[in-house]
A and B are shown apart, each in its own frame.
Chain A
Amino acid sequence: MRDAEAHEYVVRFSFWACFQHAAGILLFGVLLLTGMPQKWPYVEASRWIIEHLGGIFAVRWLHRVAGIVFSILFVTHLVVAIAGVATRRNQPALLLNRKDFRDAVDNIRYYVGSAEAPPRFGRYDYRQKFEYWGLIFGALIMALSGFILYFPILVSRVLPAELIPAAKVMHSNEALLAFLIILVWHMFGAHLSPESFPMDTSIFTGKIRKEKLRREHPLEYEDLFGQQ
């Protein structure tokens, strides 16, 4: 039974989820490539990138286009997610609950050796949920501050103009934070951790090995296949 499971797969992600992830990589990449040189414009590497992308005006144009597409993707994601939950087509599996906080504490206890086993996770563990909500709030901040910077005249007509430099500081710092979280947390979780190395492919193929599901998401596994 166990041996057979090694080659058995379970569908984990819809095409829509895979598409969003792929689009996210592309857009996040373009936004980083065109944004970071603007954050550090006096670094030699930044100037090299800007020059090779066709100058600062081309870079800003690219950044704005990618930002707009990213914002559209973000809003669509929210609409689809909310509609899906409202029509009961999707489980709100990513919502935070008390168990996630308990899991976090239990997991740290397991890490330091004061618990025998790691907590048993459901469809998404607390680390994945943390990253998801980080992304949601991060995207919200980036989109809002980005549009303030895009339309400073309009904003200053209804709101204090000091919001514009504040939005710049926010946009720039939040971007750095997002980049660092992806670098440390996501790259580790999806690539470098012993469980995933060299790469967790489920968000690209849409499926997960049954055995991996049983190990990493035992509660979901039991929901699907019953207790063993």
Chain B
Amino acid sequence: MKRHRVARNSGVAVAAALVLGLLAGSASSQPLPESVSYCLNCHEDKQLSLGLKDGSSMSLYVNPRDFARSVHGKQLICTDCHARYEQDHPSGATFPSKRGYAIAAYETCKKCHFDTYTRTLESVHYELLKGGLDSAPVCTDCHGAHNIQNPHEKRAMVSRSCATCHVAVYQAYAHSVHGKALVEEGNQDVPACADCHAHHQIEQPGTKHFRLNSPQICIRCHGDARRMSKYGISTTVVQTYLSDFHGVTASLGRGASSAASQVVVTCIDCHGAHDMASPRLKGKEAMKATVAAACAKCHEGASPDFPAAWLSHYEPSLRHAPLVFLVDLFYKIFIPFVVIGLVLQVLLHLYRASAGR
């Protein structure tokens, strides 16, 4: 066990704390509480580190500015999270590994963020962690530790934290119509990773359950007329999908007690999951080819014309799908005509039967 720098005398430490605390306070715009400054006496030293049982060393440096600017900077003091260090510190104890320390600290956030913490216990990440995968993320991996920012304001930042592990997925997202708008323009209307995959109760994607539910994710925004009108996107995309054969299947399969026994085409099959492109920018022909490829995944032997069986989110009209429009129009007239005619005759019959003979 190596210890590089240790304040042996707490009396000296307190005196130093007063001096350094003043310095730290003047260095950052907001003065830190005295107890924080006290810890920073030592932990402001970039060289400060702790030898771990696995032979590596862990930096014990805390950037005072980062902490002051974090969401907790004004509200918490060090010992709120690092509770065990109040007495006899440093005690000489150490940890198995840096990762082991981070995982052990998982429980720390629970003290305040209890509901959020319990939701993570139902996430795929926790399942992996429980299964022994140490690299599965815990709170601090996504939110940071001393530099925690408000995740609702720094959505792009949280998304980037996903990229630590999900590199390829993040790359695809960052180039997608959603990712570009968020990363490059700071657009707050587009979804970041957590908007589709949930914040803490992250479900295993790729399951039937997730797939059947996925249209609901898209509908949250694409069914919102106010949000969509800003971009000239029609919300009929929702209605047309839901009323179509596949939309009905996905919707009914979702609520069913028995899971659907076959795969159902959802939004992501034609539009992509992370690499979704604007169909407008992609062009009609390219979009058609994508749809054809999506159809062919299940419908073996589908002709190139087969995607025309799907009305491309258009409501039938004389311009789009005139045959469908005309058949529908015919019945809209014919059904009332026949039924009203029959009802009239029934009424006349009753009238005659009661008035006559």
Contact = CB atoms under 8 A, between A and B. Distances in A.
Nearest to B355: A113
A161 B303 contact: yes
B262 A166 contact: no
Given A54-B258, A112-B348, A194-B353, A38 B248 contact: yes
A81 interface: no
The interface size bin for chain B is 35 or more
A173 B333 CA distance: 11
Nearest to B259: A55
A195 to B, nearest CB: 8
Contact of A193 (B253, B335, B349): B349
A132 interface: no
B210 interface: no
Given A108-B345, A152-B309, A180-B339, A168 B323 contact: no
B251 A41 contact: yes
Interface residues of A, number: 41
Contacts of A50: 252, 256
Interface stretch (A71-79, A181-189, A217-225): A181-189
Contacts of B321: 162, 165-166
Contacts of B258: 54-55
B248 to A, nearest CB: 4
A165 B325 CA distance: 10
Interface in B249-278: 249, 251-253, 255-258, 260-262
Contacts of A47: 252, 255
Contacts of A57: 253, 260-262
B343 interface: yes
A47 B256 CA distance: 9
A174 B331 contact: yes
Interface in A154-203: 156-157, 160-166, 168-170, 173-174, 176-177, 180-181, 184-185, 188, 193-194
B324 A152 contact: no
Contact of B309 (A56, A165, A181): A165
B253 A55 contact: yes
A161 B305 contact: yes
A62 B248 CA distance: 17
Those 7 A-B pairs whose CB atoms lie nearest each other, nearest first: A173-B331, A161-B308, A111-B348, A164-B309, A56-B252, A161-B309, A55-B256
18 contacts: A41-B251, A50-B252, A108-B348, A113-B352, A156-B308, A160-B323, A162-B309, A165-B311, A165-B324, A166-B321, A169-B331, A170-B331, A173-B335, A176-B331, A176-B335, A181-B338, A184-B346, A193-B350
Given A50-B252, A170-B327, A181-B339, 7 more contacts: A41-B248, A161-B305, A169-B328, A173-B335, A177-B338, A185-B342, A193-B353
